[in-house]
Each structure stands twice: as C-alpha cells, then as structure tokens.
C-alpha cells in the first residue's frame, strides 16, 4: 500500500481555500487538511505532521514566515522535512523569493493555475520522497554503533590523522566507525546530532554522503587540529555523569570504544569502563604534545617539539639582537617533556620544569653576566603553589617574580611570554603521521583478535601494548637530560 501524501492548505480566504481543496481533491494520492489561519495549522500539525504545506504569504495574526519558522524549527526531525509552498499575488514575487531564502521551498503566484499547482506538487513529492528515504537511512544507520571514537582533551597535532587511519583500517575489516562530536559530552547527551559516521573509502562515501552526519575521513590524514571537538569535559569526573554516558553506550549497543587524547582522556575512559559491559572492547590512543604517558611516544609530541624549538630559536635571535632576557612559558603540566625538549632543541639557556629546584640567586647572577638569555618555564612549574595563593600569573611571570624577590637587580630588559597555543594547531609532521598510522593499525588488530583495554605503545621503534591498569600518567623526565637543559648556572638539580 502506497502511503498518501499529506497536504495542509493554510488560507484565510474561504473561497480560495475551497478552490484549492476542490482542485487537489481529484487526486486520490493526496490526504488533505485545511486551516483558516496559522494557529489552527499548528494545532493540526501537532496531531499529524504534513508532508507539504501550501500557505498564503500574508494572513492576519501569524503570517506564513512565522508559521514556516515554527514548523521547521521544531526539534522533532519529522517537522524539519516539511516542504513549504508560499502563495501570493504576482506583484509580491520579490517578497516570495526573499522568503525562500528564509525557509520556504517553493512559491506560486495567485490566482494559482491548476495545472501549475499539480506540477509543483509532483516536484515536491519527489523531493519529499528523497528526504524520507534519507531519513530512513539515517535512522537505520544511527540506531546502533559498531565502533565509536571519542576525542577529548586539549588539541594536539595528530588528532585528525589518527582519526583517518583508524577509520581506514577498521573499514578494511568490514567494521563501521562512528565518532562523538564533542568527546565524552556527546556520549552523555546521547542526542541524534551528537554523533557522526566516519567513512574513509571514497566510493563508499559517495554512496552515503546524502545522509546527514556522514563525514569523509580520508582528507583528515594530514589535517591540522581536530575535526571532532577535543575540549576537556570537566563534568565527566562526576559518577552520575559517567553513568549517563554508559546508558547511551548500552542504548546504542556499542561494540567497541576507542578514546583518543591525553592522560585526562584515559582517566575518563577508565571511569566509563566501570559502568559498561566487559564485552565492549575499549582502547586508548595517546595524542598529546606533552607526552604525559609513560612507556611510549605520543602522537603530537614530535610536532610539538619541532614547532616549540623553532619558537624558542626566534626568541634566541631577538634576545641576541636586543640584549634582553626572555622568559617563555611552554607546555609541560607535570613532567615537563615539551618544555625540556624544546629547550634542548633550540639551545635555550635554562629549562625550568615542574620538578626543578632552582637557586634563584645564582640564576640572577648568571643572567647579569650574559648579554642575552632565554629561559623556558614549563606551564606546570609550581602550579599547586600558585593555585593555593590564588595567583593569576602564568608560569613565566611567576618565575620572574621569584627572581626579583632575590633583591638582586637584573641589569637587562626582561620580557615574559605566555604559552603560545598555536602549537596545538600546527600541521602534524611526518614522524607524528607515521606514529598515528602505526598506532591506528595496531588498535585495529587488537580489536580484531578480541582483546580489550589496551593502549598501543611505540618506543625506540619497538611496538607493544600496555594494559590500562599498567599505564603511568606521570611521565618522568630523564635525569641525565636535566644537566643539558641548564647552560645558565650549570647547577640545576632534579
């Protein structure tokens, strides 16, 4: 049985309304309703959503524009697919065309020609048929998830490449890949628009790109930033919030979850694992500039060091030119990996890490003996102390204040620079792209053989996996590198 096309005629003039009903009533494929004003039309639409609305442009009270907006802005997706035809005298054609840019789908000049009306309705039915088909495919596609990617935490070079590669390798296995638009937050909300389907193969993408929420993953393989939001979701620390995410995971019958990010993302995933069935395979891929996970290189760390070192080289050149002191804050929350290696790569004079114990008096004396100086301070330097004092200064400013508190005047201009966040958006270099490929391939392999709760690791060229319970998130800085990071006093202590 073919479903009839539901048409709602909205016209305040009784004779015109009757004319429409007579003309359309001859077609047995139509199911007709009529309303004398927009208010009545809204009430009818609540009982049964029309496929097509034919509405006069100007009516007393709520006009056609407002009616169209009220119908199509309805959060129920069934309303957004309504085909809205506006009618008005020919002299108001410009107004009707303007209305089409604001929400209407077609227009007819009055008095309406019966033949033209039928033609326009056939076009509308074809459009509606495609919309309904797309809606059906969307509902079928997003009712259940096979493998879900969750990206959370601060952005780092490599989020997009590893997203592309994991999609590619899982697709090669015949798996379907989905992703949360906004990390753990989307899994908590669990709404229709909180997820996307990722497709790597260009042929498959062409077949599916008419469906809302389908994204082509292949172009992400060298892209900057993160297509999927990667802001930290602080509320995911609360048990009640995590339980909501678990409910969504069960509702969507998710078979596998791959979380991508830093140590905070790992903690979020481990919390989620406490509330989802053990049958859901879970994995974690480390993407973080500061390499805050022990036992492995992290995607993003190589680009971060490369870009960070180049920034410090620029400060070094300017410091030599103007005979000044730069104190530069760099990434490094706990271990200080990024600050240390950026300092070493650029040959800055001193790296001040979260664990460093500095003799500030000797540092000032050493600075005064030099013509120029560049000091790199990790953002995590005395963070707990600063927070306890309610200090708003960044790590570089705080270190400078400590130098001034020695009472020894610094005989050069001192410039404090905050952490430069454009490092997060740098183009991933070849080393990080290669690392992303290796880790994505390994995770796909782990998933295929039925393992779970593992992080792929690559260290000194060797590949292996680390179980969640064995991952250390306080990456220690090698002590033998600390001496190399102090060309200022030569007395830095771990």
Task: Name 427's Cβ contacts closer than 8 Å, sequence gap at least 6.
Answer: 157, 222, 224, 303
Same structural domain for residues 24 and 97? Answer: yes
Measured between alpha carbons, how far is 388 from 281 in angstroms, rounded to an integer? 40
Domain end residue (candidates: 114, 141, 168): 141
The mean of the pLDDT values for the chain is 91
Same structural domain for residues 269 and 308? Answer: no
Same structural domain for residues 240 and 319? Answer: no
- Residue 2: pLDDT band (50, 70, 90) is low
- Residue 72: pLDDT band (50, 70, 90) is confident
Same structural domain for residues 275 and 192? Answer: yes
- Residue 231: pLDDT band (50, 70, 90) is confident
**How many distinct structural domains can be found in the chain?**
3
Same structural domain for residues 316 and 403? Answer: yes
pTM above 0.85, yes or no: no
The answer on pLDDT for 444 being more than 80 is yes
Assess contact for 431 and 418: CB atoms under 8 A: no
- Residue 77: pLDDT band (50, 70, 90) is low
Same structural domain for residues 151 and 274? Answer: yes
Say if 77 falls within a structural domain: yes
Same structural domain for residues 328 and 370? Answer: yes
Domain end residue (candidates: 141, 160, 175): 141
Assess contact for 375 and 326: CB atoms under 8 A: yes
Mean pLDDT of 40-49: 92
Mean pLDDT of 117-135: 83
Say if 464 falls within a structural domain: no
Same structural domain for residues 291 and 440? Answer: yes
Among 71-80, 84-93, 307-316, 475-484, top mean pLDDT goes to 307-316
What are the Cα distances from residue 356, in Å, to 168, 319, 326, 334?
43, 24, 19, 11
Share of the chain above pLDDT 90, in %: 71
Q: What is the pLDDT of residues 312-364, one digit of tens each?
A: 999 999 999 999 999 999 998 888 999 999 999 999 999 999 988 899 999 99
Residue 156: closest CA among 201, 223, 88, 241? 223
Which domain range does residue 40 map to? 5-141
The answer on pLDDT for 71 being more than 70 is yes
């Amino acid at each position: 049985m073919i479903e009839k096309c539901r048409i709602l005629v909205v016209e305040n003039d009784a004779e015109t309304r009757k004319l429409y009903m007579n003309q359309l009533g001859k077609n047995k494929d139509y199911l007709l309703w009529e309303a004398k004003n927009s208010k009545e039309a809204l009430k009818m639409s609540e009982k049964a959503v029309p496929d097509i609305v034919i509405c006069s442009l100007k009516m007393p009270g709520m006009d056609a524009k407002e009616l169209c907006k009220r119908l199509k802005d309805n959060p129920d997706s069934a309303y957004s697919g309504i085909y809205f035809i506006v009618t008005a005298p020919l002299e108001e054609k410009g107004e009707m065309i303007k209305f089409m840019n604001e929400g209407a789908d077609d227009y007819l000049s009055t008095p309406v020609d019966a033949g033209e009306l039928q033609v326009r309705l056939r076009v509308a039915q074809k459009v509606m048929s495609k919309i309904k088909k797309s809606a059906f495919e969307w509902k079928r596609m997003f009712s259940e998830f096979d493998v879900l990617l969750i990206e959370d935490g601060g952005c780092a070079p490599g989020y997009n490449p590893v997203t592309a590669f994991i999609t590619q390798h899982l697709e090669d296995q015949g798996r379907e890949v989905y992703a949360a638009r906004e990390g753990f937050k989307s899994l908590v909300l669990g709404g229709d628009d909180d997820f996307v389907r990722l497709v790597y193969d260009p042929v498959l993408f062409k077949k599916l790109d008419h469906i809302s929420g389908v994204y082509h993953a292949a172009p992400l393989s060298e892209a900057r930033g993160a297509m999927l939001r990667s802001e930290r979701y602080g509320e995911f620390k609360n048990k009640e919030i995590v339980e909501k995410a678990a409910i969504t995971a069960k509702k969507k019958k998710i078979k596998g979850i791959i979380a991508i990010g830093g140590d905070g993302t790992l903690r979020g995933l481990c919390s989620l694992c406490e509330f989802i069935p053990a049958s859901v395979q879970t994995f974690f891929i480390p993407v973080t500039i500061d390499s805050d996970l022990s036992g492995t290189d992290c995607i993003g760390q190589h680009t971060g060091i490369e870009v960070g070192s180049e920034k410090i080289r620029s400060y070094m050149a300017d410091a030599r030119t103007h005979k000044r002191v730069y104190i530069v804050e760099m990434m490094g929350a706990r271990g200080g990996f990024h600050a240390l290696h950026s300092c070493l790569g650029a040959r800055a004079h001193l790296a001040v890490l979260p664990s460093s114990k500095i003799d500030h008096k000797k540092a000032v004396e050493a600075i005064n003996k030099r013509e120029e100086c560049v000091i790199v301070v990790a953002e995590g330097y005395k963070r707990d102390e600063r927070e306890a004092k309610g200090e708003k200064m960044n790590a570089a400013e705080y270190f400078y204040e400590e130098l001034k508190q020695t009472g020894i005047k610094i005989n050069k201009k001192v410039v404090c620079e905050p952490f430069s966040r454009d490092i997060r958006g740098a183009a991933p270099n070849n080393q990080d792209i290669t690392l992303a490929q290796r880790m994505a391939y390994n995770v796909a392999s782990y998933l295929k053989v039925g393992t779970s709760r593992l992080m792929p690791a690559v260290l000194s060229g060797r590949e292996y996996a680390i179980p969640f319970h064995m991952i250390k998130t306080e990456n220690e800085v090698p002590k033998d590198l600390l001496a190399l990071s102090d060309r200022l006093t030569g007395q830095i202590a771990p």
